[in-house]
Structure 1
Amino acid sequence: MSVFSIEGGRPLGGTVKVHGAKNSVLPILAAAFLVPGECVIHNCPRLTDVEGTLAILRHLGCRVRREGDTVTVDASAPAAADVPDALMRQMRSSVVFLGPILGRMGRAELSYPGGCELGPRPIDLHLTALRALGAEIEERGSRLSCRGELKGADLTLSLPSVGATENAMLAAVAAQGVTTITNAAREPEITDLQNFLNTMGADIRGAGSSVVTVRGGRPLHGGEHTVIADRIVACTYLSAAACAGGEAEVTGVDWRHLSTVTAVLAEAGCRVKSSPTAISLTAPKRLKAVRPVRTAPYPGFPTDAQAIVMAALCKAEGATVFAENMFDSRYRHVDELTRMGADIRAEGRVAVVYGVPRLFGARVTAADLRGGAALVVAGLGAEGETVVSGLEHIDRGYADLSGGLAALGARIARNEETVSES
């Protein structure tokens, strides 16, 4: 069993480059299945979710090659229109293959996806959007059987779902005619997907706004694209410096993509400076509580940053209220932070963090991806040794998190522990 061993209580200092965005590269890789040619994707991080996505592409008949952080996908000769249950269960985002497979093959056979347990996350919005484009979808137990000739349509999402927006865009690229997606998600990853598809010959406009227009049926071709930096990874490094003290600079990231996060850290007393491709943070002697933090769709405060920033504020002077408006079960890190001395009261979607002077090292377990990152942040600011297990969750979204933090001066190592049988 892999664990992080962290010697906390040491201020950080240094510069680290942020790798490609998990939530961008996964739909981009799925989109490559639509292209009857070779797509070269740069800044593609080594994440377990990425490896799972590449396994799906190989199953579908694509030729896949990785050289460093560059992945080449050749979907010239697709050989399948189904995704095995074992591959679907590895990650929530696997459902994004529904639109590309249906659009390219005229049929698709998948099961419901897996991923972190964050409460109910139905894919009804995905299915409603695809049905509006002409798909016939039959649900049999845990399997989805989809067929149909897709045609452009006017879609209005009841919620600005990132995944549903991506699936609708991907299917609409293959549909004949114009598709308008209203109440679309506005995240930077949506814009990155648009830029990738347009580079490959698609005609999509409006990403980053609430209305996206796709002129479908255009011939696609191969090309190259560089994935944007991961704003939540950048948030993790900055929050680590805020919690441990010292300073950190993250490079390769667009500050506008996480301005709501840096605004909270600045309110907590950090000095934040931004340039077009970097963000630097200098922590005060002690953080202070901030006004209520409410998660919301972009450009609001990201739900993925909630646990990470909460960990940093555990030692702040005063009390901070967090309101989680996106998922039902996103406070699973609270009990583990409490084991480290944090004082947090959570009920329903609200958690109140009462700042304590010190945190203490402990053995803790990650229950999900971002909650695991929060435990690492807390460990860096705690006195003594913290051992974090459950790294299989963290590996889904961080490529060598320990290496990145070590570049900032953290004393953190990834070790193997033997699990004794009871």
Structure 2
Amino acid sequence: MDSIKVVGGRELKGVIPISGAKNAALPLMIASLLTEDTLTLSNVPRLRDVAQLTQILMNHGVDYSVNGKRSGQDDLDGQTVHLTAREIVDTTAPYELVSKMRASFWVIGPLVARMHEARVSLPGGCAIGTRPVDFFIEGLEKLGADIDIDAGYVVVKAPGGLVGDRVEFPKVSVGATHTIMMAATLAKGETEIVNAACEPEVADLAACLTAMGAKIEGAGTPVIRIQGVDRLHGAHHAVVPDRIETGTYAMAVAMTGGEVLLRGTRANLLDTALDTLREAGTEITEVPEGLKVYRNGNGIQPVDVTTEPFPGFPTDLQAQFMALMTMAGGQSRITETIFENRFMHVQELARLGAQIHIDGNTAIVDGVSTLRGAPVMATDLRASVSLVIAGLAAEGETTVNRVYHLDRGFERLEDKLTRCGAQIERISG
């Protein structure tokens, strides 16, 4: 099993290209099931989750191809992929595939919308807490689907097709918003999604579906209206930049000092997180090429944060920000409201010398002047990169084990950091 070795103490200086967002690329790829024409997606990141979803879509009959390298293309630029679901040959998404990635459950919406039936395995648990699929099921039932749970599978049937209706989520859910929005594009009449997720990735999916011929209003707000159409066609769509990767590298610069251009990203994708970083003493400037990040000379200032749905502070940046606060000049409080059990990185940060106390869903962080390298264990995707960030500033050598989590969501992290002067390498195991 691979590990990453980091020798801390170096400022980051240079350019980091920001990849396409994993959390946008996955639903965009799933949207290919809605049409028999080809959907072309550019700026797709090269990630383990993308490769896994490709296998799942191919199981349904999707043809998949990737453009070769083009003249002048950077090795870290996103790829262009073509997905064609000319014929859906299988409406079952089996447990052995769905269990490896929760987002693959989202195929249930397009499958029942186009084929009027689907049989999709329940995805099971998650290391950062339970994420039930009740909202997905209740939403599809509101659109007229009959649903049974049989031997661990959700069996959905809509013999006459889906019919638009009002779907109100009791709690904001990005995955359920994606799924019901995709399903509603081919439903008869109008669907209104209330308490919809407002994340940029939802708006990005809506933009792609609109390019495919869907009629969608309100994406990016709490109320989305979809007027169903008879069919969708192919389109070309560029995946939105990854706001979590953007925030992660900005926090790495804040941690180490230096100056880095985050190329190809936008501030409006994560305004709250950037404002928080500015409070912590980091200078962030929007430039035509992306975002320029610079750690000023006043050290890291303590800041309290609470995770919230977009446009609030993202839960997917909580672990990274906690790593930054371990070396702040004072006490900070980090409250997690989205997922339970998302403080597993605390014990590993403590191995580096961090002083963190857990009180319910709040982590109280007393900043220290020095972290010292040690072997640590990654527990999930975001926790993994938080340990890398801490290791970049720690004295001596830090070895992050079980980094297969990183490959699910960060494209060639060690290569991007090495280009900016970090002493970091992957060790194959």
- Normalising by the smaller structure, the TM-score range is over 0.9
CA contact (8 A) 1:286 1:315 kept: no
Question: Equivalent residues in 2 for 1:171-186 (5 A)?
Answer: 171-186=183-198
Q: Is the 8 A contact 2:196 2:222 kept in 1?
A: yes
Deviation track 1:159-214 (CA, whole Å, cap 9, x = no partner) reads 12111111110110121111011111000000000011111111111111111111
Question: Which residue of 2 is the match for residue 124 of structure 1?
Answer: 134
C-alpha contact (below 8 Å) 2:169/2:194 kept by paired residues: yes
Aligned to 2:87: 77
What SS does the corresponding residue of 2:348 show, helix, strand or coil? helix
8 Å Cα contact 1:173/1:217 also seen in 2? yes
Distance 1:207 1:262, change over 3 A: same
Structure 2 residue aligned with 1:340: 352
Secondary structure at the counterpart of residue 296 of structure 1: coil
Q: Does 1:10 align with 2:22?
A: no
1:102-122 per-position Cα deviation (integer Å, ceiling 9, x unaligned): 111111111112574111211
- 2:57 aligned residue: 57
Question: Per-residue CA shift, 1:237-268, capped at 9, x if unaligned?
Answer: 11111111112110111111111111111111
The equivalent residue for 1:86 is: 96
Runs of 4+ that moved beyond 6 A: none
Q: Is the 8 A contact 1:186 1:299 kept in 2?
A: yes
Q: In the alignment, is the contact (CA less than 8 A) between 1:39 and 1:73 conserved in 2? A: yes
Alignment check: 8 A CA contact 2:302 2:329 kept? no
Question: What is the match of residue 236 of structure 2?
Answer: 224
Give the conservation status (yes or no) of the 8 Å contact 1:255–1:276: no
Q: CA deviation at 1:142?
A: 1.9
Do residues 290 (structure 1) and 302 (structure 2) align? yes
Partner of 2:218: 206
Give, as a single letter, the amino acid of the residue that structure 2 aligns with 1:395: D
Residue aligning to 1:38: 38
1:146 partner letter: V
Aligned with 1:327: secondary structure? Answer: coil
- Deviation at residue 270 of structure 1 after TM alignment: 1.1
| 1:110 aligned residue | 120
2:156 corresponds to 1:134: no
Question: What is the CA distance between 1:228 and its match in structure 2?
Answer: 0.5
Change (3 A) 1:306 1:395: same
Separation in 2 of the partners of 1:318 and 1:114? 40
Aligned residue in 1 for 2:382: 370
- Please give the alpha-carbon distance, in whole angstroms, between the structure 2 residues aligned to 1:115 and 1:280: 39
- 1:14-35 C-alpha deviation (Å, 9 max, x unpaired): 1111000000000010011101
Instruction: Show the counterpart of 1:353.
Output: 365
> Structure 1 residue 141: deviation in Å?
4.0
The separation in 2 between residues aligned to 1:197 and 1:279, in whole angstroms, is: 28
Tell me: CA distance 1:407–1:212, structure 2 relative to 1, closer, same or farther (3 Å): same
Provide the rounded CA distance (Å) in 2 between the counterparts of 1:246 and 1:41: 34
Structure 1 residues 67-98: Cα deviation after superposition (integer angstroms, max 9, x where no partner): 25111101111101011111101112111111
Distance in 2 (CA, whole Å) between partners of 1:100 and 1:290 is: 45
1:375 & 1:91 partners in 2: Cα distance? Answer: 23
Q: How far off its partner does 1:305 sit?
A: 0.5
Contact 1:173 1:215 in 2 (8 A): yes
> Contact 1:254–1:277 (CA<8 Å) still a contact in 2?
no
Q: How many residues align?
A: 417
* Contact 2:125-2:131 within 8 A present in 1 as well: no
What runs of 5+ residues in structure 2 fail to find an aligned partner? 69-78
Q: Matched residues in 2 for 1:357 and 1:302: separation?
A: 27
Quote how far apart the aligned CAs of 1:285 are. 4.1
Equivalent position SS for 2:128: coil
Counterpart residue type for residue 378 of structure 2: A
Bigger shift: residues 25-34 or 247-256:
247-256
3-state DSSP of counterpart to 1:4:
strand
Backbone CA RMSD of aligned residues: 1.3
2-structure distance, mates of 1:218, 1:15: 46
Corresponding residue for residue 331 of structure 2: 319
Amino acid at match of 1:143: Y
Shift of 1:131: 0.6
State TM-score, norm by structure 1.
0.96
1:289 positional shift: 3.6
Name the stretch that deviates more: 271-280 or 96-105.
271-280
The residue type equivalent to 1:8 in the other structure is G
Q: Percent identity at matched positions?
A: 40
Quote how far apart the aligned CAs of 1:364 are.
0.8
Partner of residue 420, structure 1: none
Instruction: Kindly state the Cα deviation for residue 42 of structure 1 after the two structures are TM-superposed.
Output: 0.4
C-alpha distance in 2, partners of 1:315/1:82? Answer: 49
Offset at 1:275? 3.1
Q: Take 1:313 and 1:248, find their aligned partners in 2: how far apart are those partners?
A: 20
CA distance in 2, matches of 1:276, 1:126: 40
Pair 87,137 (structure 1): closer, same or farther in 2 beyond 3 Å: same
Whole-angstrom CA distance in 2 between matches of 1:83 and 1:239: 38
Q: Secondary structure of 1:189's partner?
A: helix
1:252 paired with 2:264, answer yes
Shift of 1:217: 2.4
Partners of 2:164 and 2:299 in 1: CA distance? 52
Q: Displacement of 1:287 after TM fit? A: 3.5
Q: Contact 2:280/2:303 (CA < 8 Å) preserved in 1?
A: no
After TM superposition, give the deviation of residue 219 of structure 1 in Å: 2.1
Deviation at 1:140, TM superposition (A): 2.4
